[in-house]
Every structure is written in structure tokens, then in C-alpha cells.
């Protein structure tokens, strides 16, 4: 797993350049948001189960066809699998924003997910909606905790939803 520091240095090392103003500004921004990143991760650590439960409850209220007979979350096993997947998205999004680099999402979530969802016939739009709900719940908790700039939270979740939405699963 890379972080913002290693990614920046690797980019400049590969091209044989010294760190320029853009690189320094990127690193400076990463360090300035470091405490907020850690605080938000601590919130998720303390409230993950509740965040997932709330997001799941809202997803199924918004899209009740998912839990009706024939729906992709119908049966206890499928319902539990949906919540388990939401837990994965939340955990890996947390890793990505703490690291300041979304590559962990490609490596650990998106690559295997495409194959799995294809084979199981899982529809992608409810998955994207669930990820969006998780993002909103986390941002709300972060704001309640006094974290003013939550754009780093957006980055990871938006990357997940963009990659899932743009790909033919």
C-alpha cells in the first residue's frame, strides 16, 4: 500500500527530478490534514457497526425491492453479505484517506470486486448508493466531531463510486 509521501517521491524519482513546488505543496497539504484524517479514522473505528447499520437501513428504505423476494439482498445470507461489503468499503476508504492515496482501493477492493460481482449478478447502482450513504454518514459524524474540512473523506468514497460507475461490471 502506498501513501501520499511514497507516491509523490516515486513520481519524481521515476522522472529523475527534484521535488518542485507542486510536490512540496501536495506534501504540505497532506501533513496539514493529518490530524483530521486520524480523527476521522478514529470515529469510524468507534462507530463502524452503527455507520453500516444506518447506511444499510437507509439503502433498504430507499430501495425496498432489494430485500423483497428476488431482490439481491433477499434472504438473510444475501442481506448479511451486503452489509459485509459495506463494511469492506468503509474500512478500505478509511485506509485510503489516512494514506492520502487511493491505490489501496484498486489493489484490495476494486480488482477482485469486479469479478465477484459479475459472477454473482450483483447490480452496481445499489452498491454505489450504499457507498454514497456511508460517505454521508461518515462526513456527518466527522462534522459533529469538529472536523471542518472533510474533502479527504470525499476523495476515497468518490473514487470508489466513480470506478464502479464507469466500469462495466
The pLDDT of residue 51 is above 50: yes
Count H helices and E strands in the chain, helices first: 8, 0
The pLDDT of residue 114 is above 80: no
Query: What is the C-alpha separation between 141 and 123, in angstroms, rounded?
Result: 28
Query: What is the C-alpha separation between 105 and 54, in angstroms, rounded?
Result: 23
Domains of the chain: 1-32 (no CATH), 34-166 (1.10.490.20)
3-state secondary structure of 52: helix
Q: Are 169 and 118 in contact (CB under 8 A)?
A: yes
- pLDDT-derived band of residue 113, with 50, 70 and 90 as boundaries? confident
The pLDDT of residue 9 is above 90: yes
Share of the chain above pLDDT 90, in %: 85
Query: Taking residues 106-111, what's their average pLDDT?
Result: 90
The pLDDT of residue 116 is above 90: no
Q: How high does pLDDT run on average in the chain? A: 93
Q: Are 17 and 39 in contact (CB under 8 A)?
A: no
Query: Taking residues 130-143, what's their average pLDDT?
Result: 98
pTM comes to: 0.90
DSSP 167: S
pLDDT tens profile 63-95? 999 999 999 999 999 999 999 999 999 999 999
Please give the pLDDT value at position 122: 86
Please give the pLDDT value at position 1: 78
Query: What is the C-alpha separation between 12 and 24, in angstroms, rounded?
Result: 11
The pLDDT of residue 169 is above 50: no
Query: Taking residues 120-141, what's their average pLDDT?
Result: 94
DSSP 149: -
Q: Is the dihedral of CA 124, 121, 80, 43 positive or negative?
A: negative
Amino acid at each position: 500500500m502506498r501513501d501520499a509521501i511514497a507516491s509523490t517521491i516515486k513520481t519524481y524519482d521515476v522522472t529523475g527530478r527534484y521535488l518542485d513546488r507542486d510536490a512540496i505543496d501536495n506534501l504540505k497539504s497532506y501533513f496539514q490534514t493529518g490530524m483530521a484524517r486520524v480523527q476521522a479514522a478514529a470515529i469510524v473505528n468507534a462507530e463502524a457497526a452503527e455507520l453500516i447499520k444506518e447506511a444499510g437501513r437507509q439503502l433498504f428504505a430507499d430501495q425496498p425491492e432489494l430485500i423483497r423476494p428476488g431482490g439481491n439482498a433477499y434472504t438473510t445470507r444475501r442481506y448479511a453479505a451486503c452489509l459485509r461489503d459495506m463494511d469492506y468499503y468503509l474500512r478500505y476508504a478509511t485506509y485510503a484517506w489516512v494514506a492520502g492515496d487511493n491505490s489501496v482501493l484498486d489493489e484490495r477492493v476494486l480488482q477482485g470486486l469486479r469479478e465477484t460481482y459479475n459472477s454473482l449478478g450483483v447490480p452496481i447502482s445499489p452498491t454505489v448508493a450504499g457507498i454514497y450513504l456511508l460517505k454521508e454518514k461518515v462526513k456527518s459524524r466527522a462534522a459533529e466531531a469538529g472536523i471542518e474540512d472533510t474533502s479527504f473523506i470525499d476523495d476515497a468514497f468518490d473514487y470508489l463510486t466513480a470506478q464502479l460507475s464507469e466500469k462495466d461490471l
